[in-house]
Structure 1
Amino acid sequence: MNMKNRVVTAAALAAVVAGALSVAQPTFAGDKEKCYGIAKAGQNDCANLAGTHSCAAQSTVDFDIGEYKVVEAGTCEALGGYSKGEAQKMYDEQQVNKR
């Protein structure tokens, strides 16, 4: 393989890796927010507070306080959900009460 082919191959590989990494990170516009406690089983948007999974659609319980969905900013409370801080506090209290 000559130098030109190596450069083209390396550039193509870098583009593929960059594309894969951009998909792996959940991002959303400023008019969206994470809303905890509203996701049904299998309908969460990403990782949970417990750290037991790191992907969407892996929740196993409806309305688990540790699972979130991304919603329009300002609508979470009306949907019956919680901010991350509120959800973390409730999750931590649940863990203490299990002991």
Structure 2
Amino acid sequence: MYKRHALIAAALATVCAATAAADAPKADQEKCFSIAKAGQNDCAAADGTHGCAGQAKADKSSADWKYVAKGTCTKAGGKLTASK
């Protein structure tokens, strides 16, 4: 039974590590607030309303963000910092 638990734990750790690596920004990306559509944000809300990607409740929420190529955020109508 313990081997089974160890295998499950190892599999979950691998999935979590792969997900965390995918969420990390590349050197040519920046956080862009107020452009994410509902359910398409990249990580936790700046105001603490949720803690994970894909949990934005509304389009273009000022607390939710997506990674975009550097220099394109404001051109797309977004902001580089969260609104208060």
Instruction: Return structure 1 stretches of 4+ with deviation > 6 angstroms.
Output: none
Count of residue pairs brought into register by the alignment: 77
Give 1 or 2 for the bigger CA radius of gyration: 1
Q: TM-score, normalised by structure 2?
A: 0.75
Higher helix residue share = 1
Aligned to 1:71: 68
Unaligned regions of 5+ residues in structure 2, if any? 1-5
Is 1:36 matched up with 2:22? no
Change in 2 beyond 3 A, CA 1:19/1:61: closer
Greater RCO between the two (CA within 8 Å, min separation 6)?
Answer: 2
Is 1:61 matched up with 2:78? no
Identity %: 41
Unaligned regions of 5+ residues in structure 1, if any? 1-8, 92-99
Q: TM-score, normalised by structure 1?
A: 0.65
